[in-house]
């Protein structure tokens, strides 16, 4: 019998459907631990496919480091004593694997085709062979459970409950003879389609242990860095429990990008400038022109030009129209897809989830890829023929499918593991939500890469008003090319000027000057941030979206475009103050990119995991010593950041500060806490003395509340902004005063403006 192990249940089901004629489904365990296996005949043998739940092993510290204390941090860095053990949460999956593995003569690893997939395959082999540890070897074995005692309080840290009583041997009992496991085969496919899966099974290879080792190193290093720095920052600033300050090897440099941009904005000094514009008409045509000089740096220069441009008519002095080609975009890799999706209102994290489910449904190819060049073996025609059955692009796809040969666009990155993301099937029923948006994007992008360039006619008209030169630019789509399917995702290009020739005369309807200021650099949107991360080598295609999401979840950033909270700013500036003397700042992207580069070298077999982990321990130790010398400063900064995030504005009654507080039940509300440094007010007998004037307001219980810095035009109380989790939804600006006369008006206006 063949045992086929996949990374997820849906992939196991899909492979069984593709390879087997008739599939029998068996359920193991119940509730959330329920696992399914898929049994079928394969050739003249039997086969069973079973899906894991992603990683089934994890890197852990020994239990001696479980307590959070600054005292242990040095030990954790110097002697992390990591062990690779079975993940306790995977007990149900392992029990199911044990039961279906019985009697297997051949093991097929069919996990996802990437670094993490290779490690998960390695994990499965360790477990099947009986080499995996079920607990840290330096931890005491779990005591025999007494009947009726539920001992799973600390579920995450508890060793796996398999087998029930620990006999003293820390190894999981073997599920198959070692010889059978060592004969394993590895199949690699980039899409869950019949062609790909059958081709993969026809051309098996073995697990790439170097690649798995690279993923394993990343796990180890991330655990040490994350645990040490998170504990240090949290303990230094007295933030315990759910308020802990999460610090991560890739997360902090990403936060730094956002914070650095914000600090640049704060330091920015706007410079005033002026522009002169005019509205011209001829018959029904209107043209907006601007002074050919563009910006005037001084008011006098502008006023001089303005007075020289006093005239009722304008004369066309030149008209130019030049066609230029706009090339279709390159094929999608993960970053480009996430960036394009976020331009369409789907955050990178949501786009990635939608893309994964489209992949598991056999609709698109594997969505984690860096590649932007279609391999020659790719069946472009097959995908086109399939897309001809999908109504929104059916005509174009059918026309392309009949074409003799294709010259698809090529991007800059070429890798050989996966093809770029392209559609491999069409939805049988209508998709909805993010899935519909992402599928539409992938399908149209794919067609766009096979269509010709668009021809855009760039237009420029020069006119003279009085004694001054003005001009306007326009554009016209002369030949749509790829825009036939991709216009909705491309920059808008059809803004034609009316047909004009030199000598034409137009009426000047209006001549006006506009006073403006130079603008600070803009904040990162989620799409551009993910592109920046790729450019700097921060994170991987598999982790970038989650890292950004985590910044939102930890309250370090809010909104989209992304704005750091004061807590986020404090965290980075505290690092900077402590790291001034450090050779390399551990929260810099260079540091992270270096480690990621070393992981690539592990996968090439040039470096070993222990070397890279040891090197990162040294860097961490240096950093920790510097941080430790700045504990008081870090504490002050973090406290200040938190306080600023919670301060909504000035109390109208007493001039004190209106701040977000939490009641005993956890409900939040706004209350006046008086002025900074005020002594508590005397209170009646039996009451606690309080600060401030006693004014309180209820607050929305969901979403992130931030001060806008403005006060309500109707009642004078501060205005606040409420944003949904993860920068989702439309921000809602409202007056904090529940009884404000303008409440309804504000709500509807906020909705319209957002
Ligand atoms: Zn007050
Ligand atoms: Zn108000």
pLDDT at 43: 83
Dist CA 562 CA 569 (whole Å): 13
What's the CA-to-centroid distance between 650 and ligand 1, angstroms? 8
The DSSP line for 219-248 is HHHHHHHHHHHHHHHHHHTT--GGG-----
Please report which confidence band the pLDDT of residue 686 belongs to, taking 50, 70 and 90 as the band edges: low
Residue position matching structure tokens 């009726």: 148
Strand-strand pairing, 185-186 and 313-326: unpaired
What's the 689 CA to ligand 2 centre distance in angstroms?
29
Question: Which band of pLDDT confidence, cut at 50, 70 and 90, is reported for residue 727?
Answer: low
Q: Considering only the C-alpha atoms of the chain, give the largest distance between any 2 of them, rounded to a whole number of Å.
A: 100
Nearest to 227 by CA among 85, 83, 370, 65: 65
Across 36-40, 574-578, 657-661, 691-695, least confident range? 691-695
pLDDT tens across 689-709, in order? 577 888 999 998 887 788 888
Give me 56's structure tokens: 């089934």
Cα separation values, 234 from 222, 482, 576, 640, 645, Å: 17, 52, 17, 15, 17
Distance 711 CA to ligand 2 centre (A): 8
Here the tokens at position 513 are 């000057």
Catalytically active residues, by annotation: 366
pLDDT at 240 over 90: no
What is residue 160's predicted lDDT score, i.e. its pLDDT?
Answer: 46
Q: Name 511's bridge partners.
A: 278
Residue 46 in tokens = 């039997």
Six-digit token string for 452 = 């010709």
Q: What is the pLDDT of residue 723?
A: 75
Question: Residues whose CB is under 5 A from ligand 2 (ion)?
Answer: 712, 714-715, 735, 737, 740
Residue partners of 180: CB distance under 8 A and separation at least 6: 104, 105, 106, 107
pLDDT at residue 152, rounded to an integer: 39
| Range of 137-146, 573-582, 675-684 with top mean pLDDT | 573-582
Which spans in 328-481 are helix H?
Answer: 334-343, 348-360, 380-387, 394-401, 433-450
CA distances from 554 to 243, 439, 549 (A): 9, 30, 9
Strands (E), 80-145: 83-86, 106-109
Q: What is the pLDDT of residue 744?
A: 67
Q: What pLDDT was estimated at residue 149?
A: 39
CA distance 329 to 345: 20
pLDDT band at 687, cuts 50/70/90?
A: low
Question: Nearest ligand to the C-alpha of residue 718?
Answer: 2
Q: 10 Å Cβ neighbour count for 64?
A: 13
Nearest ligand by distance to the CA of 648: 1
Which ligand ends up closest to the CA of 744? 2
How far does the centroid of ligand 2 lie from the alpha carbon of residue 712, in Å?
A: 5
Cα separation of 245 and 237, whole Å?
9
Cα separations in angstroms, 693 against 179, 482, 647, 660, 675: 78, 65, 16, 15, 10
d(CA 536, CA 732): 34
Q: Lowest mean pLDDT: which of 179-188, 432-441, 462-471, 555-564? A: 555-564
By three-state DSSP, how is residue 306 classified?
helix
Predicted local distance difference test score (pLDDT) of residue 274: 97
pLDDT in tens, 339-384: 999 888 898 989 999 999 999 999 999 999 989 999 888 889 999 9
Residue where the block lists tokens 């700097």:
536
DSSP characters for 253-290?
A: HHHHHHHHHHHHHHH----EEEEEEEEEEETTEEEEEE
For residue 534, give every residue at least 6 positions away whose Cβ sits within 8 Å of its Cβ, in sequence order, or none. 335, 541, 544
- Ligand 2 centroid – CA 279 distance (Å): 39
Q: Is the backbone of residue 238 left (phi > 0), alpha (psi -120 to 50) or beta?
A: left
Q: Indicate if the pLDDT at residue 8 is higher than 50.
A: yes
Strands (E), 484-552: 505-517
**Which contiguous run of DSSP H or E holds residue 573?**
helix 566-578
- 743 alpha carbon to ligand 2 midpoint, in Å? 7
CA of 673 to the centre of ligand 1 (A): 7
Residues 2 and 566: their CA atoms lie apart, in Å, by: 56
Cα–Cα distance measured from residue 582 to residue 591, given in angstroms and rounded to the nearest whole number: 12
Structure token digits, residue 749? 């206006």
pLDDT band at 157; cut points 50, 70, 90:
very low
Task: For the beta carbon of residue 719, count every other beta carbon within 10 angstroms.
Answer: 21
Lowest mean pLDDT: which of 208-212, 391-395, 414-418? 414-418
Instruction: Report whether pLDDT(681) > 70.
Output: no
| Whole-number Å distance between alpha carbons of 207 and 411 | 29
Average pLDDT, the chain: 88
Q: Which residues pair with 321 in a beta bridge?
A: 459
Residue 402 DSSP code: T
- The H or E element that residue 317 is part of is strand 313-326
CA of 717 to the centre of ligand 2 (A): 6
Cα–Cα distance between 48 and 25 in angstroms, integer? 10
Q: 77 CA to middle of ligand 1, Å?
A: 48
Q: What is the pLDDT of residue 286?
A: 94
Task: Specify the DSSP element, H or E, that contains 599.
Answer: helix 589-603
E-assigned strands of 605-752?
A: 647-650, 657-662, 668-672, 696-698, 704-711, 718-723, 732-735
pLDDT band at 589 (very low <50, low <70, confident <90, very high): confident
Q: Indicate the helix (H) or strand (E) that contains 204.
A: none
Nearest ligand (C-alpha, residue 739): 2
Nearest to 368 by CA among 184, 219, 215, 560: 215
Q: Report the pLDDT value the prediction gives residue 616, as an integer from 0 to 100.
A: 87
Give tens-digit pLDDT for 48-85. Answer: 999 998 899 999 999 989 888 888 888 999 999 999 99
**Ligand nearest, relative to CA of residue 742:** 2
Q: What is the mean pLDDT of residues 35-41?
A: 95
Q: What percent of the chain has pLDDT over 90?
A: 60
What's the 724 CA to ligand 1 centre distance in angstroms? 28
pLDDT of residue 585: 73
Ligand at shortest distance from the CA of 693 = 1
Cα separation, 704 vs 720, in Å, equals: 10
CA of 661 to the centre of ligand 1 (A): 14
115 token code pair: 């670094």
Tokens of 179: 């010889």
Among 310-319, 587-596, 630-639, the range scoring the smallest mean pLDDT is: 587-596
For tokens 């021809």, name the residue: 455
In order, the DSSP letters of 140-190 are PPPPPPPTT----TTTTTSPP--SSS--S--BPPPSS-HHHHHT-EE---S
């Amino acid at each position: 019998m063949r045992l086929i192990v996949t990374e997820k249940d849906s992939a196991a089901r899909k492979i069984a459907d593709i390879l087997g004629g008739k599939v029998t489904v068996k359920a193991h365990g119940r509730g959330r631990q329920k696992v399914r296996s898929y049994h079928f005949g394969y050739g003249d043998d039997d086969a069973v496919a079973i899906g894991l739940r992603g990683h089934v092993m994890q890197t852990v510290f020994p239990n001696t480091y479980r307590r959070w204390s600054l005292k242990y941090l040095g030990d954790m860095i110097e002697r992390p004593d990591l062990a690779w053990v079975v993940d306790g949460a995977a007990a149900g999956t392992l029990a199911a694997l044990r039961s279906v593995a019985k009697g297997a003569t051949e093991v097929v690893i069919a996990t996802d085709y990437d670094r993490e997939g290779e490690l998960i395959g390695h994990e499965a082999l360790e477990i099947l062979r009986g080499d995996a540890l079920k607990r840290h070897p330096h931890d005491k074995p779990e005591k025999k459970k007494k009947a009726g005692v539920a001992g799973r309080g600390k579920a995450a840290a508890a060793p796996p409950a398999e087998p029930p009583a620990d006999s003293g041997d820390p190894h999981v009992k073997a599920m198959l003879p070692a010889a059978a496991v060592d004969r394993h085969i590895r199949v690699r496919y980039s899409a869950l389609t019949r062609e790909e899966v059958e081709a993969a099974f026809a051309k098996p290879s073995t697990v790439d242990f170097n690649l798995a080792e690279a993923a394993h190193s990343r796990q180890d290093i991330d655990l040490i860095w994350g645990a040490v720095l998170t504990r240090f920052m949290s303990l230094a600033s007295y933030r315990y429990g759910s308020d802990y300050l999460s610090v991560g090897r890739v997360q902090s440099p990403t936060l730094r990008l956002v914070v650095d941009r914000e600090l640049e904005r704060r330091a920015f000094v706007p410079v005033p400038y002026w522009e002169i514009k005019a509205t011209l008409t001829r018959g029904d045509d209107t043209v907006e022109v601007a002074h050919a000089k563009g910006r005037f740096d001084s008011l006098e220069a502008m006023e001089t030009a303005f007075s020289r441009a006093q005239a009722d008519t304008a004369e066309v002095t030149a008209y130019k129209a030049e066609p230029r080609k706009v090339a279709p975009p390159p094929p999608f890799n993960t970053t480009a897809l996430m960036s394009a999706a976020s331009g369409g209102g789907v955050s990178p994290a949501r786009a990635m989830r939608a893309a994964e489910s489209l992949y598991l449904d056999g609709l698109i190819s594997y969505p984690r890829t860096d590649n932007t060049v279609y391999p020659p073996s790719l069946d472009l025609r097959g995908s086109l023929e399939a897309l001809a059955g999908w109504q929104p692009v059916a005509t174009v796809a059918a026309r392309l499918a009949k074409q003799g040969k294709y010259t698809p666009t090529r991007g800059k990155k070429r890798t050989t593991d996966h093809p770029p993301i392209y559609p491999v099937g069409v939805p049988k029923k209508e998709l909805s939500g993010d899935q519909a948006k992402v599928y539409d994007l992938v399908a149209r992008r794919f067609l766009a890469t096979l269509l010709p360039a668009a021809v855009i006619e760039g237009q420029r008209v020069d006119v003279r008003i009085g004694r001054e030169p003005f001009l306007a630019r326009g554009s016209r789509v002369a030949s749509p090319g790829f825009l036939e399917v991709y216009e909705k995702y491309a920059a808008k290009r059809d803004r034609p000027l009316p047909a004009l020739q030199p000598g034409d005369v137009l009426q000047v309807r209006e001549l006006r000057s506009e006073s403006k200021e130079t603008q600070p650099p803009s904040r990162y949107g989620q799409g551009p941030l993910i592109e920046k991360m790729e450019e700097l080598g921060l994170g991987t295609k598999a982790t970038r979206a989650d890292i950004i999401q985590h910044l939102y979840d930890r309250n370090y950033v809010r909104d989209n475009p992304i704005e750091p909270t004061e807590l986020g700013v404090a965290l980075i500036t505290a690092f900077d103050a402590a790291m001034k003397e450090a050779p390399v700042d551990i929260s810099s992207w260079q540091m992270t990119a270096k480690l990621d580069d070393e992981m690539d070298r592990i996968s090439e077999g040039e470096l070993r995991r222990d070397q890279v982990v040891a090197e990162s321990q040294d860097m961490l130790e240096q950093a920790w010593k510097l941080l430790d010398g700045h504990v008081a400063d870090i504490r002050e900064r973090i406290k200040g950041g938190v306080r600023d995030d919670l301060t909504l504005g000035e109390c109208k009654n007493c001039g004190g500060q209106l701040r977000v507080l939490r009641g005993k039940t956890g409900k939040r509300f706004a209350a006046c806490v008086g002025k900074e440094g005020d002594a508590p007010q005397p209170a009646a007998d039996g009451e606690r003395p309080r600060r401030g004037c006693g004014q309180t307001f209820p607050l929305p219980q969901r979403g992130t509340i931030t001060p806008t810095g403005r006060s309500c035009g109707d009642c004078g109380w501060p205005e606040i902004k409420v944003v949904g989790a993860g920068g989702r939804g439309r921000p809602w600006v409202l007056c904090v005063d529940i009884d404000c006369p303008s409440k309804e008006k504000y709500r509807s206006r906020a909705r319209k403006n957002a």
